[in-house]
């Protein structure tokens, strides 16, 4: 197969059928530029879509990861589907999705999640859980009907430079295929030693 997005779609469909929780969960690695030396920073996010343009996730852009992506707009994703004994690694530049895409996805979220997006000062210190709960109550009173998307909240799309597919094999003789995007936009597949 020469289309890594089709291979990802096939593997993701299997993951949706076999993973108990969140087959769209992936580790997102960014670069923390705070302090004297850049450092890797990683957390789990939920991929909310993918197509030939890349892989999309949403977050508070004022969060630690949001700041990191603004200063160093390059990231890596890692999907690990333990039930399938498969992993997909992806790396490339990251950019904001369109305002329309962010608006449409935000409108599809449950009301409680929409209110949390307003109430959470994500990644900042919280003195007590009751403070966050009070902020949610304040937002519910401020927006008794439709909850608009906060200006600090939106989506990112990672456009891969490369995508690697890893399959577990007996005796640690794993199978690895890396697809690298060419300057013309096509893909070249290379087998890698396990």
The tens digit of pLDDT for each residue in 100-144 reads: 999 999 999 999 999 999 999 999 999 999 999 999 999 999 999
CA angle 68-112-73, nearest 5°?
Answer: 15
Residue 145 lies in a domain: no
Q: E strands, 33-186, where? A: 39-46, 49-51, 54-60, 74-81, 86-96, 153-158, 162-167, 175-181
The residue to which tokens 């013309």 are assigned: 184
Q: What is the mean pLDDT of the chain?
A: 96
pLDDT tens sequence across 23-42:
999 999 999 998 899 999 99
Task: Say which CATH number the domain at 53 has.
Answer: 2.30.110.10
Instruction: Specify if 144 maps to a domain.
Output: no
pLDDT score at 34: 87
pLDDT of residue 51: 96
How much is the pTM?
0.94
Is 19 part of any domain?
Answer: yes
Structure tokens that stand for 56 in this block:
């999309």
Does residue 67 form part of some domain? yes
Give the number of domains in the chain. 1
Report if residue 36 sits inside a domain.
yes
Whether 1 has a pLDDT exceeding 80, the answer reads: no
Catalytic residue ranges: 172
Range of the domain at 13: 4-108+154-192
């Amino acid at each position: 197969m020469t289309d890594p997005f089709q291979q990802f779609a096939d593997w993701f469909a299997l993951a949706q059928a076999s993973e108990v929780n969140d087959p769209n969960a992936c580790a997102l690695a960014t670069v923390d530029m705070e302090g004297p030396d850049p450092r890797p920073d990683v957390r789990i996010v939920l991929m909310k879509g993918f197509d030939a343009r890349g892989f999309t996730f949403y977050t508070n852009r004022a969060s630690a990861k949001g700041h990191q992506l603004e200063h160093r707009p390059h990231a890596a994703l890692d999907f690990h589907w333990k039930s399938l004994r498969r992993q997909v690694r992806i790396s490339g530049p990251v950019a904001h999705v369109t305002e329309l895409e962010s608006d449409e996805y935000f409108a599809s979220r449950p009301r409680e999640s929409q209110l949390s997006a307003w109430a959470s000062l994500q990644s900042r210190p919280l003195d007590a859980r009751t403070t966050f709960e009070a902020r949610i109550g304040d937002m519910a009173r401020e927006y008794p009907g439709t909850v608009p998307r906060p200006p600090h909240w939106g989506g990112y799309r990672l456009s891969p430079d490369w995508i690697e597919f890893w399959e577990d094999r007996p005796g640690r003789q794993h199978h690895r295929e890396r697809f690298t995007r060419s300057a013309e936009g096509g893909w070249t597949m290379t087998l890698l030693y396990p």
